[in-house]
Amino acid sequence: MSVDEIKTQGTDKMEKCIAQLKKELVTIRTGRANPLILEKVLIDYYGTPTKLRQLSQVTVQDGTTLVIAPFDKTIVKEIEKALIKADLGITPNSDGVVVRLVFPPLTADRRKELSKDVKAMGETAKVAIRNVRRDLSDDIKKLEKAENMPEDAVRDAQDSVQKLTDKYIKMIDDIVSEKEKEVMTV
């Protein structure tokens, strides 16, 4: 394995950390309706746990309301039960044909709480990035011993790994601050 292969492997792992952070942040509710908040909601569809978004069409109405129109109208009650069980902080309203989720404006306390959650998710992602850096450094040290690399080459490789780490940490900071801004916007 070469230094370039180690860096490529590290970049892939760090990209996955960023993707995971983005996936987690999508589930945090802001004042606006976002269909991705329903990503983890499972419906008991004829004995099989199935994602809500596979069983229905979800649309955003007037920015603060999600309208869930199931393809099979007989599962409206199951959808309501699953939404209540998912504990989204929103009570579903049903007219027997579609289910509506009206997103109330967040209170100031709830916004602060969500902001803390966003920061915590960002810190978790940073720890993951630093763990990748540690693994890359270990790989470089193993490569140094195996191939008798000169000290300069090792130092250059370590520096490039640190620059890569700094780049991804900055990306996490940007993503977190953007999400915090979104949460704190009334």
pLDDT tens digit sequence for 6-36: 899 999 999 999 999 998 888 777 767 778 8
pLDDT tens figures, 158-168: 999 999 999 99
Give, in degrees to the nearest 5, the angle at Cα 56 between 52 and 59.
Answer: 100
Using DSSP's 3-state secondary structure scheme, residue 130 falls into helix
How many Å apart are CA 46 and CA 61, to the nearest integer? 29
How many Å apart are CA 33 and CA 182, to the nearest integer? 12
Query: Domain segments of the chain: what residues?
Result: 3-27+107-184, 35-102
The DSSP letter of residue 28 is S
Bridge partners (DSSP) of residue 43 are 50
How many Å apart are CA 94 and CA 107, to the nearest integer? 25
How high does pLDDT run on average in the chain? 88
Per-residue pLDDT band at 62 (split at 50, 70, 90): confident
Of 3.30.1240.10, 3.40.50.10480, 3.30.1360.40, 3.40.50.720, the CATH number of 35-102 is 3.30.1360.40
Of 3.30.930.10, 3.20.20.70, 1.10.10.10, 1.10.132.20, the CATH number of 3-27+107-184 is 1.10.132.20
Are the CB atoms for 42 and 52 separated by under 8 Å? yes
Give the per-residue pLDDT at 186: 66
pLDDT tens figures, 92-117: 998 888 999 888 777 888 888 889 99
- The answer to pTM > 0.85 is no
